[in-house]
């Protein structure tokens, strides 16, 4: 149910509007109930005055703030959904976009769900549970898998500081304790990504593409080399968006500009040491296949030339009809070739 509000920043919402709302329960905190608080007293900013949500990989989404602003000012408050969540020290734990709206609007008082951190609970575990899982307000921006990865990585570090190494099954269990909409494979992939990245940070020297190219230039005299970043997620180097595809077309561009094909060096990105040999071997096999393909294209080109034919890597035959009420038939390329003559 929507309650029209925000006519005046001095207005105070009535807690009874949420009487039918079922309050959540948390593993790491006790739910005290709904309270009215001074909006400006809620702690939600970092040291430089920016609204900062530690449960998200990035800060508040300005598009989401705009959507919430429009919803609040046109529809009012949806009392079927939880208000922003604060702890006993007035730290905001969920509802950062709504808090940004309240501050921008100059709202003096608002309703919050008050929770109390359990004795002995790590505040970071509370952030994981509440900030990642509680996004059911209207409109809401769900936590992304990258938000979960960032928080899982912090959880892994906290456990290591206690002398415990997190396993894959424990990472999956960590996910299961927080509300989310990811399928089983997505969770497994996210956990493997975080654990592999942690292993790589400890066991492998890290490179970016630019750093790798500078290294081979300065240390190995490969002045014109381009670098290919090898990732476990890119099992097919030439799949759409994969680094192999980008490097392939980068090499062709350089050839077009200079007449020479550049040498290529390969560096690993977040591949654990025990999988590096396999990844490198697979890379060489796929690059050999690409080179064989290019050799076949050259032979096809030569054959076309001997037959006085034009060689085309991409032979476009035409365009599908799409303009409603105007185009009905397949459109051959000759239509546009005639226009450009």
Across the chain, which has 341 residues, the per-10-residue mean pLDDT values are: 90 95 92 97 90 71 84 92 94 93 96 95 90 61 80 90 92 88 89 83 81 92 92 77 88 94 92 85 92 93 92 91 92 80 53
**Residues 254, 257: Cα–Cα separation, whole Å:** 5
Per the CB < 8 A criterion, the answer to whether 83 and 42 are in contact is no
**SS3 readout for the chain:** CEECCCCCCCCCCCHHHHCCCCCCCCCCEEEEEEEEEEHHHCECECCCCCECCCCCCCCCCHHHHHHHHHHHHHCCEECCCCCCEEECCCEEEECHHHHHHHHHHCCCEEEEEEEEECCCCCHHHHHHHHHHHCCCCCCCCCCCHHHHHHHHHHHHHHHHHCCCCCCHHHHHHHHHCCCCCCCHHHHHHHHHHHHHHHHHHHHCCCCCHHHHHHHHHHHHCCCCCEEEEEECCCCCCCCCCCHHHHHHHHHHHHHHHHCCCCCEEEEEECCCHHHHHHHHHHHHHHHHHHHHHHHHHHHHHHHHHHCCCCCCCCCCCEECCCCCCCCCCCEECHHHHHHHC
C-alpha 194: how far from chain center? 13
**Residues 220, 159: Cα–Cα separation, whole Å:** 40
Q: How far, in Å, are 216, 245, 285, 286 from residue 291 at the CA level?
A: 23, 13, 10, 9
Note the maximum CA span of the chain.
86
Give the global pTM: 0.57
Give residues with Cβ within 8 angstroms of 239, minimum separation 6: 245
Give residues with Cβ within 8 angstroms of 134, minimum separation 6: 24, 82, 85, 94, 179
**Residues 33, 115: Cα–Cα separation, whole Å:** 7
Closest CA to 77 of 26, 146, 122, 14: 14
- Residue 136: its pLDDT value, please? 47
């Amino acid at each position: 149910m929507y309650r029209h509000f925000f006519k005046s920043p001095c207005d105070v919402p009535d807690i009874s509007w949420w009487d039918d709302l079922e309050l959540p329960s948390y593993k790491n905190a006790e739910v005290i109930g709904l309270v009215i608080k001074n909006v400006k007293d809620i702690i939600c900013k970092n040291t430089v005055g920016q609204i900062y949500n530690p449960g998200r990989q990035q800060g508040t989404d300005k598009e989401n703030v705009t959507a919430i602003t429009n919803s609040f000012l046109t529809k009012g408050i949806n009392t079927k959904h939880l208000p922003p969540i604060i702890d006993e020290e007035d730290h905001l734990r969920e509802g950062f976009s709504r808090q940004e709206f309240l501050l921008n609007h100059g709202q003096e008082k608002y309703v919050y769900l008050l929770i109390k951190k359990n004795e002995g609970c790590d505040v970071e575990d509370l952030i994981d549970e509440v900030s990642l899982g509680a996004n059911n307000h209207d409109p809401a921006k769900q936590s992304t898998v990258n938000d979960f990865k960032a928080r899982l990585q912090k959880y892994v570090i906290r456990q290591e500081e206690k002398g415990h190494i997190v396993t894959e099954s424990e990472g999956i269990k960590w996910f299961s304790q927080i509300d989310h909409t990811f399928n089983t494979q997505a969770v497994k992939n996210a956990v493997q990504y975080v654990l592999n990245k942690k292993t790589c940070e400890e066991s492998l020297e890290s490179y970016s593409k630019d750093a790798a190219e500078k290294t081979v230039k300065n240390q190995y005299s490969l002045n014109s080399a381009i670098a290919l970043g090898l990732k476990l997620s890119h099992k097919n180097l030439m799949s759409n968006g994969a680094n192999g595809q980008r490097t392939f077309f980068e090499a062709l561009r350089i050839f077009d500009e200079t007449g020479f094909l550049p040498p290529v060096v390969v560096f690993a990105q977040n591949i654990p040491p025990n999988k590096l040999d396999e990844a490198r071997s697979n890379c060489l096999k796929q690059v050999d296949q690409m080179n064989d393909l290019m050799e076949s294209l050259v032979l096809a080109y030569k054959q076309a030339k001997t037959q006085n034919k034009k060689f085309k890597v991409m032979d476009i035959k035409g365009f599908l009809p799409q303009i409603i009420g105007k185009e009905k038939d397949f459109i051959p390329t000759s239509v546009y070739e005639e226009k450009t003559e």
